[in-house]
């Protein structure tokens, strides 16, 4: 037995020797401040008294959301004792900056300012950014994004005057019931935690903010919160070395600037009863500083936490922490008593002045590295804007996009395809208010919204189940969960569990859980859902991006960083493709600056101020992503209804390319229409007339000889100004069933008279450009003759529903509240009323609101989907809607050499490069689209992959208002996008 023990000991020594030899071979990067600023450090050090040296090791708490009494008390502590630093807690950025400047004025040696900003300043300060929790980041494959986050957090910290950020958390969350770490950890795998933490650390320290790894030697496997009690860790040194210490050692080797010691009792290192690791010399000095040879700054965890505070008085606990080997005492609650107790310890020979002075010099070196030898006050100008800059917001979205994890995807239901085959409900579980998730889902198509609170009764859940019966797909978001488990199990009730289980069993259901990933285990049979998303938290970004992944605008990428249960294990995560549908982003994704789009608001406000328009909707998309989408102004000058992004405008002549041309191009791609054919070949009523042999190539380029327009309504009015009795009535009847405007109905057969009037009209010189409405008025009859289908039904079934453009509709008053529809002109001649919900164009109105030249209503978002379909040459959401390159052919100029710049149905730049043309100055000759009489504009640029929509009602209150064209607002707004593109390329 003795021989075996000797052999084992000998083998162990050999292994340790080999390990030490390996360690010596490895390149160890020292903390970044080591050896910095020796002259400044020495001169500063020599100017200090013993009390001031002790005070340099003290960091006191401060709040910028408290009253002046608090500010004055902290100011007095700084002045009197010259403490080394401040840790800021709750408050606001401007208030904290002001307070920082005031406190720095009181300090002989500039203060080291710190904050607990694990997910950015937003963890502590209002009006600032919160990046995803570390558990979210744990599932990200691209650690370059985490480095960029660390960099941005550092820049924001420096901007507000902060030098040390107590992050990253490097605790390995290998205890599901951990009440204090949980979502603050990168996950349960030590390698993953270490690599993610390293990226975060380097991002900060490369940008002059000291990182801080916490909570040494590892707080991940405990079920006690050290804020309220003292956790006891019953692990061996072998286990601690192999697991808990692993990420710390990795960061130590790479130059970690500081570390925070946790309040835990660890008998394997120090068996002293009720002694926290913070106060343990065997842990802080022997393990951390001697065995692991860590040379950076060692901070205590907050010394007012109950893990230590309930055992020792303020001052005494600080002294014991210093004796244990800590360099910086965090949250000292009694500065005077602390200095007194430390001096007593010196007198008792428990610590030497030399030991204290060495730590002071280390602090001064860190301050020098942080630039505090040349301290400058925080600049308050544009502070809020700088802390919420668009590039940082884009990075935040990218981090969320990379983290969201798709855990189930039966039959590849995500991304959702074939919208026309689905009836979709968006259900918010846990709230009775519309969520960001629901609002985001609605952008992609027709989605009905439902709500149910977590504490709803069984009866309420049953009623909801009945309401969902007719839906083919339910997208359920689980909201307002508690982030910590505790006794309430994240706040998930048994009724909620039962309902969701039943819903999943009865119909296709996509479940997105907006909360702590461990909460997924609370839902029975969740793995049986059609799709399951873990989003890790309930942020606006998480809800927005989850919706985009569900509809295929973005792809799923994340991997689960922890095991939730037997169904959802660490490393799980399915990937999907993005780019299927129009997505939603910002200019920063394409290297542009959102602030370069501020000129749009200036231009639109100029138009509103000059009464060119009451309001407008504007959308710009780049490479399949909406990068600008805002609404301005009000519905009418007499109205107080603000324009919103989902409100509908009368599209006027944009109808031509959105209805007639869309249908003809689709039929062309199916071999059912040929632009080289004649009107008579496709429209029976044209046969035998002077329109029979007009070629569609000439018709669509407006050089067929057709008249520009016919004022049909004037033929219905007598000389006394009243309508002919056989034409209009103010009451609806079988003979007068068609609504033209409010309380005005037209004879059921008048449409035939109108069509005959067109067919009987004279034909002018062929080959001469004359913009004409007439062929587009006939287009619905052409479509019906070819397909046998009603015009609007054909468009809805074959195009609009497929792309999710549900607001594109005729006669919107039948489907929408009037508050959602923007009025157009007050028609003082024909209908003698404000036109609200009915079409502005007289001819389209007399056709019952349905025509191929005017009549379509819609919002910018849905019109952009159609324009994106055109940009994609007829493909959208993986569906070939208009095939065989028909769109690209129709959008080309056919008779440019003859002086006609029009394409087939599409408008093109009249004079490319012109400041006052029909397109933006920098819009290339290949771009195309159309304008509308009411003040609308839709344009596509294939070369730059741009879609541009401008919707307004410039005809309100009268069509005589031409200021919008005089100002050139529509094309100037588009030019803003080109200027931003050009600037980004420089």
Give 76-115 pLDDT, tens digit per residue.
999 999 999 999 999 999 999 999 999 999 999 999 999 9
List beta partners, residue 283: none
Give 641-666 pLDDT, tens digit per residue.
999 999 999 999 999 999 999 999 99
Query: Is there a contact between 696 and 675 (Cβ–Cβ < 8 Å)?
Result: yes
Q: Three-class SS of residue 897?
A: helix
Mean pLDDT of 665-686: 97
Mean pLDDT of 930-958: 98
Question: Would you give the distance in Å from CA 659 to the centre of its chain?
Answer: 33
Give the separation between CA 729 and CA 275, rounded to whole angstroms. 93
Give 300-336 pLDDT, tens digit per residue.
999 998 878 888 999 999 999 999 999 999 999 999 9
Give the separation between CA 188 and CA 570, rounded to whole angstroms. 8
Give the separation between CA 981 and CA 635, rounded to whole angstroms. 31
Share of the chain above pLDDT 90, in %: 90
Give the separation between CA 582 and CA 556, rounded to whole angstroms. 16
Query: Is there a contact between 655 and 856 (Cβ–Cβ < 8 Å)?
Result: yes
pLDDT at 488: 73
pLDDT at 223: 66
How is residue 24 written in tokens?
């010596």
Residue partners of 559: CB distance under 8 A and separation at least 6: 139, 141, 405, 571, 572, 573
pLDDT at 9: 44
Residue partners of 505: CB distance under 8 A and separation at least 6: 525, 528
Is it the case that residue 701 has pLDDT exceeding 70?
yes
Residue bearing the bigger pLDDT, 274 or 511: 511
Q: Which domains does the chain have, with CATH numbers?
A: 32-386 (3.20.20.300), 404-578 (3.40.50.1700), 599-609+642-862+881-941+968-985 (3.40.710.10)
Query: Is there a contact between 139 and 573 (Cβ–Cβ < 8 Å)?
Result: yes
Mean pLDDT of 254-271: 95
How is residue 504 written in tokens?
């999943």
Give 351-403 pLDDT, tens digit per residue.
999 999 999 999 999 999 999 999 999 999 999 999 999 999 999 999 999 99
Q: Give how far Cα 684 sits from Cα of 671, 694, 778, 782, 905, Å.
A: 19, 13, 11, 8, 22
Q: Three-class SS of residue 250?
A: helix
pLDDT classification of 986: cutoffs 50, 70, 90: confident
Residue 132: closest CA among 442, 589, 407, 534: 534
pLDDT at 6: 44
Query: Is there a contact between 400 and 134 (Cβ–Cβ < 8 Å)?
Result: no
Would strands 879-880 and 875-876 be described as parallel, antiparallel, or unpaired?
antiparallel
Tell me if the bond preceding 309 is cis, omega within 30° of 0.
Answer: no
Question: Would you give the distance in Å from CA 136 to the centre of its chain?
Answer: 15
Give 143-197 pLDDT, tens digit per residue.
999 999 999 999 999 999 999 999 999 999 887 776 678 899 999 999 999 999 9
Mean pLDDT of 215-228: 76
How is residue 610 written in tokens?
């000059």
Query: Is there a contact between 171 and 185 (Cβ–Cβ < 8 Å)?
Result: yes
How is residue 321 written in tokens?
């922490």
Q: Give how far Cα 305 sits from Cα of 259, 260, 262, 302, 335, Å.
A: 18, 14, 10, 6, 16
Give the separation between CA 139 and CA 535, rounded to whole angstroms. 10
Residue 615: closest CA among 636, 639, 599, 640: 636
Kindly report the length of the chain.
986
């Amino acid at each position: 037995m003795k021989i075996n023990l000797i052999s084992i000991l000998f083998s162990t020594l050999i292994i340790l020797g080999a390990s030490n030899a390996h360690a010596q071979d490895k390149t160890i990067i020292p903390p970044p401040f080591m050896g910095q600023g020796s002259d400044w450090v020495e001169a500063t050090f020599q100017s200090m008294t013993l009390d001031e040296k002790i005070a340099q090791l003290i960091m006191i708490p401060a709040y910028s959301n408290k009253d002046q009494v608090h500010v004055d008390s902290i100011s007095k502590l700084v002045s009197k004792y010259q403490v080394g630093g401040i840790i800021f807690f709750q408050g606001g950025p401007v208030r904290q900056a002001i307070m920082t400047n005031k406190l720095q004025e009181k300090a002989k040696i500039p203060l080291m300012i710190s904050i607990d900003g694990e997910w950015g300043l937003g963890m502590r300060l209002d009006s600032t950014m919160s990046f995803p929790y570390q558990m979210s980041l744990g599932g990200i494959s691209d650690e370059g994004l985490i480095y960029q986050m660390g960099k941005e957090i550092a820049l924001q910290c420096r901007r507000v005057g902060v030098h040390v950020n107590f992050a990253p958390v490097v605790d390995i969350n290998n205890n599901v019931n951990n009440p204090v770490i949980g979502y603050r950890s990168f996950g349960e795998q030590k390698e993953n935690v270490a690599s993610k933490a390293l990226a975060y650390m380097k991002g900060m320290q490369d940008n002059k903010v000291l990182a801080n790894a916490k909570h040494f030697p590892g707080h991940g496997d405990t079920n006690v919160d050290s804020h309220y009690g003292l956790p006891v860790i019953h692990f061996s040194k072998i286990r601690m070395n192999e697991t808990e210490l692993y990420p710390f050692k990795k960061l130590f080797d790479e130059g970690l600037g500081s570390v925070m010691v946790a309040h835990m009792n660890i008998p394997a290192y120090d068996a002293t009863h009720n002694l926290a690791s913070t106060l343990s010399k065997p842990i802080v000095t022997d393990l951390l500083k001697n065995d692991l040879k860590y040379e950076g700054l060692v901070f205590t965890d907050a010394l007012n936490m109950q893990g230590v505070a309930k055992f020792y008085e303020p001052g005494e606990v600080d002294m014991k922490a210093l004796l244990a080997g800590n360099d910086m005492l965090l949250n000292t609650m009694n500065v005077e008593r602390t200095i007194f107790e430390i001096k007593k310890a010196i007198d008792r020979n428990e610590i030497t002045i030399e030991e204290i002075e060495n730590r002071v010099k280390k602090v001064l070196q860190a301050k020098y590295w942080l630039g505090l030898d040349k301290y400058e006050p925080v600049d308050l100008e544009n502070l809020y804007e700088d802390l919420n800059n668009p590039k940082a917001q884009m990075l935040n979205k990218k981090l969320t996009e990379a983290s969201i994890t798709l855990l189930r995807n039966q039959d590849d239901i995500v991304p959702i395809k074939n919208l026309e085959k689905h009836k979709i409900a968006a259900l918010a579980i846990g709230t009775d208010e519309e969520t960001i998730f629901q609002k985001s889902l609605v952008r992609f198509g027709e989605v009905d919204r439902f709500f149910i609170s977590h504490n709803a009764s069984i009866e309420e859940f049953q009623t909801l189940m009945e309401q969902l019966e007719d839906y083919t797909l339910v997208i359920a978001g689980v909201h307002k969960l508690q982030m910590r488990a505790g006794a309430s199990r994240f706040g998930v009730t048994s009724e909620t569990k039962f309902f969701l289980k039943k819903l999943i069993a009865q119909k296709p259901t996509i479940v997105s859980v907006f909360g702590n990933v461990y909460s997924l285990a609370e839902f029975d049979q969740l793995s049986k859902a059609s799709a399951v998303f873990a989003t890790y938290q309930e942020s606006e970004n998480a809800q927005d991006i989850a919706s985009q992944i569900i509809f295929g605008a973005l792809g799923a990428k994340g991997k689960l960083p922890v095991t939730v249960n037997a169904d959802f294990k660490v490393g799980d995560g399915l990937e999907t493709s993005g780019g299927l549908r129009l997505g939603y982003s910002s200019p920063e994704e394409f290297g542009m600056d959102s602030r370069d789009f501020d000129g749009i608001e200036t231009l639109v406000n100029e138009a509103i101020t000059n009464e060119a328009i009451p309001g407008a909707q504007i959308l710009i998309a780049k490479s399949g992503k909406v990068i600008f989408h805002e609404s301005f102004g009000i519905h009418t000058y007499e109205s107080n209804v603000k324009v919103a992004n989902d409100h509908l405008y009368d599209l006027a002549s944009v109808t031509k390319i959105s209805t007639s041309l869309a249908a003809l191009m689709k039929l062309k791609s199916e071999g059912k229409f040929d632009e080289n054919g004649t009107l008579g070949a496709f429209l029976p009523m044209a046969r035998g007339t002077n329109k029979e042999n007009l070629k569609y190539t000439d018709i669509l380029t407006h050089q067929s000889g057709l008249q520009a327009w016919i004022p049909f309504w004037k033929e219905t009015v007598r000389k006394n100004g009243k309508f002919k009795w056989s034409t209009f009535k103010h009451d609806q009847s079988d003979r007068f069933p068609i609504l033209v405007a409010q309380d005005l109905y037209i004879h059921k057969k008048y449409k035939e008279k109108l069509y005959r009037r067109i067919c009987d009209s004279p034909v002018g010189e062929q080959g001469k450009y004359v913009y004409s409405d007439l062929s587009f008025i006939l287009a619905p009859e052409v479509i019906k003759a070819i397909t046998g289908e009603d015009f609007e039904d054909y468009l809805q079934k074959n195009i609009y529903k497929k792309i999710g453009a549900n607001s594109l509709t005729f006669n919107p008053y039948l489907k929408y509240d009037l508050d959602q529809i923007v009025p157009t002109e007050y028609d003082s001649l024909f209908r003698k009323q404000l036109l609200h919900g009915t079409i502005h164009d007289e001819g389209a109105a007399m056709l019952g609101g349905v025509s191929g030249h005017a009549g379509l209503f819609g919002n910018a978002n849905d019109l952009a989907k159609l324009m994106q379909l055109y940009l994609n040459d007829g493909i959208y959401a993986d569906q070939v809607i208009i095939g065989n390159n028909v769109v690209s052919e129709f959008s080309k100029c056919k008779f440019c050499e003859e002086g006609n710049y029009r394409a087939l149905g599409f408008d093109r730049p009249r004079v490319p490069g012109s400041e006052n043309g029909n397109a933006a100055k920098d819009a290339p000759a290949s771009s195309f689209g159309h304008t509308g009489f009411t003040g609308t504009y839709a344009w596509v640029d294939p070369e730059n992959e741009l879609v541009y929509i401008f919707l307004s009602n410039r005809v309100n209150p009268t069509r005589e208002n031409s200021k919008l064209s005089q100002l050139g607002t529509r094309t100037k707004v588009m030019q803003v996008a080109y200027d931003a593109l050009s600037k980004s390329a420089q």
